[in-house]
Every structure is written in structure tokens, then in C-alpha cells.
Homo-oligomer: A and B are copies of this chain.
Amino acid sequence: MSYRNASVVITGGLGFIGSNLALRLAKEGAQVTIIDPLITGCGGNEHNVATIRDAIEVIPHDISETKRLAGAIRGAKVIFNLAGEISHIHSMEFPERDLLINTVAQLRFLQACVTYNPGVRVVYAGTRQVYGRPDYLPMDERHPVRPVDFNGVHKYAANMYHDMLSRSGQIDGIVLRLTNVYGPRMSLAIPCQGFLSTFLRLVLTGQNLEVFGDGRQLRDPIYVDDAVEAFVRAGLAATVEQRTINVGGPQALSLLDIAKTCARLAGDLTVSTRPFPEDRAMIDIGSYSTDTSQFERSFGWKPSITFEQGLAATLSYYRAELPHYLDPNDPRPNCGLPEHKGIQHRLLYSAV
């Protein structure tokens, strides 16, 4: 089994993980079609695929515009479903926008998959955020789902769509619940996209770091090449025992350690701590680390790139490409969402 000459679709393929996956699959000889309308705030960036732009197709439509996607869906061997909004902060400010992007659009897209390519393998980018505050660590897939923000609720609704349609054989879905992913092609220009994006933006522009709380909260960041490997393997797996599988990094590190490593590798910068702002405390989940044994059992592989290795490669990428990832003249109040080009924020409907 391989991707050579296979047609694959990547929703959100101009985004961070999606574009890295596109580069990898193109290298393996796949026919890559990206579906990505570059919704403001979701991290898409045409520069991400600049080196393969002539070898791939990019459909600039939303995944909910399913009539325009029939051809791409019909021919696909695997659909990598990474379209979405990942920001917890955005979701608390604009819950309905998050519902549209992460749930409504997914419902329409999956219905189109059932119609145009019944039984197709769909690998969905889920999130550890659905678990909420852990009862125990490391986090396995049996842990209750208890999201602390609208993003978690809406991503979990999409997770359930994949599960439900898979149980009835209408698609052949796998949901990868990702921990914090970092690496080349992350958006650095958008505030509120997680601490790793923030840390990178600051150290790459020579600024010191601040960590909320005491900095002892654990995270297990995964380098994007490892995350991409997880998608690649899930896409090809012949049979699947469990359809929802956690994907975590190889080390559990404190936020303070992560910040210090960023500051050290980037240059002569400092790290300090400050109390949690109120709006962040509400959606903070404390420590997190992943039990990856289900993934290892299913796919015979586990992530191995250490944070220090991955971060060095990440900094090296951005040092060459930084202008494509920063927009320092655009401070983007409220992350720029209401005023910017992108999906409408209000669902329009009414009793008639």
C-alpha cells in the first residue's frame, strides 16, 4: 500500500498541518487536491505550499460548498479532513462562528462524502481539547469527554459525526485527537492560536516570554513531521479496531521548560511568569500528556522527535521565511475576526 498516484484530498490543506501533509504526500507521488478558502483566523497561507503549487490542485471553496467539491471527493482514495478553526479563545468570543466552521460545515462535507464516495477513508483532525480537565494522566481514549470551551464542543460534534457515519459503514473514518502540534508553517500572525504559536512569534521577533500561572502545567508537543506521519499511517491502515486515537508527542514538558527552551534556542531571551488572565483561566485545562499506546498498537509506530530537535528545525525554517508568517502592522483587535474577509459570523435562519 502506498500513496503513489493515489488521489488524496486535504481539507484545510493550506493550513499548518494540512500543508505539511500536502508536501509529504506530493513527495510520495500522490495526486493532491487541497480544499481551503483561507478563512480569516484559521491559519491558512498560500506560501505554505509554494514549493509544490504547480503539482497540486487547490479548490478555494469552503468545505460546506459541496456542489463544487463533488469531483474531488468522488475520486479520492483518502480524504484528510483538517479544515477547522482551532482557537479556543476565538470560539469563546464568537461561538456561532466556531459552530459554523467546525460543525455545520463538517456536517455538509461528510454528507457529501457519503453521497459521492460512500465508504471512503476519512482521517479527521480531532483535538485533545475535547477531554477538558484531565481526571488522570496520561490521557487515554476512554477518558470522559468534557470540553471547557465552545471549540471543544463543536470539534467533538464533528468527531461524533465521523464515528456515527463510520459505525453505519457510510464512511470509513478515523479521528486523530491531536495534542499541541508545532513546526514550520504554523501561523504566527494570528493571536489566540495557542501558546506555541505565541512563543514562536515572540522569540522570533526578539521578545521575552511570559508564562501564565506557575508554568508547571505539562504539555507534550508533537513536531509536525511526526503528526504528519500519524495522518499518513492512518490514511493507509487496512483495518481499524478503534476509530478515535490519541496522538501525542514523545515528552511531557512543563510550560516553563518549553518556554525556556524556546528562549534559549532563539537567542538571549528571558522567561517570567504571570497570573492567568481571567478569560484564559476559565478554559485552562491544567496539565496534559497523551497515552499513545492505542496509536502504537494500531499503526506500529510512535513519535520520536524531541522538542529540542523539532524546535531547532522550526526556528531554522522561520528564520528564512519569517516575512511570510508575520504581519506586524496588523495588531488585529479580537484577532481581526469581525472585520476581515472570511466566513460570515451570523447564521441566517428564521422561523417562516
| A contacts, CB < 8 Å to B | 37, 39, 61-62, 64-65, 95-96, 99-100, 103-104, 107-108, 111, 142, 144-150, 152-154, 156-157, 160-161, 163-164, 167-168, 282, 341-344, 346-352
B167, A161: Cβ atoms under 8 Å?
no
A142 to B107, CA, bound (A): 27
Select A351's contact among B39, B146, B152, B347, beta carbons within 8 Å.
B39
B108, A103: Cβ atoms under 8 Å?
no
Asked whether A103 and B111 contact (CB < 8 A) given A145-B145, A350-B344, the answer is no
Select A349's contact among B144, B282, B348, B351, beta carbons within 8 Å.
B348
A351, B148: Cβ atoms under 8 Å?
no
Copy count, this protein chain: 2
A147 to B346, CA, bound (A): 28
Which of A142, A160, A341 neighbours the largest number of chain B CB atoms within 10 Å of its CB? A160
Select A104's contact among B99, B150, B282, beta carbons within 8 Å.
B99
Q: Would you list 15 pairs from A and B whose C-beta atoms are within 8 A, ordered by A residue?
A: A37-B351, A62-B350, A65-B351, A95-B107, A104-B349, A107-B150, A147-B164, A153-B164, A342-B351, A343-B349, A344-B349, A344-B350, A346-B349, A347-B347, A347-B349
A111 to B96, CA, bound (A): 10
B95, A103: Cβ atoms under 8 Å?
no
A168 surroundings in chain B (CB, below 8 A)? 148, 282
Given contacts A152-B164, A154-B157, A342-B352, 4 further A-B contacts (CB under 8 A): A145-B145, A145-B160, A344-B352, A346-B349
B148, A64: Cβ atoms under 8 Å?
no
Q: Which residue of B lies closest to A62 (CB)?
A: B351
Select A111's contact among B95, B154, B163, beta carbons within 8 Å.
B95
Which of A142, A156, A164 neighbours the largest number of chain B CB atoms within 10 Å of its CB? A164
A146 to B104, CA, bound (A): 19
A161 surroundings in chain B (CB, below 8 A)? 150, 153
B164, A157: Cβ atoms under 8 Å?
no
A96 to B112, CA, bound (A): 13
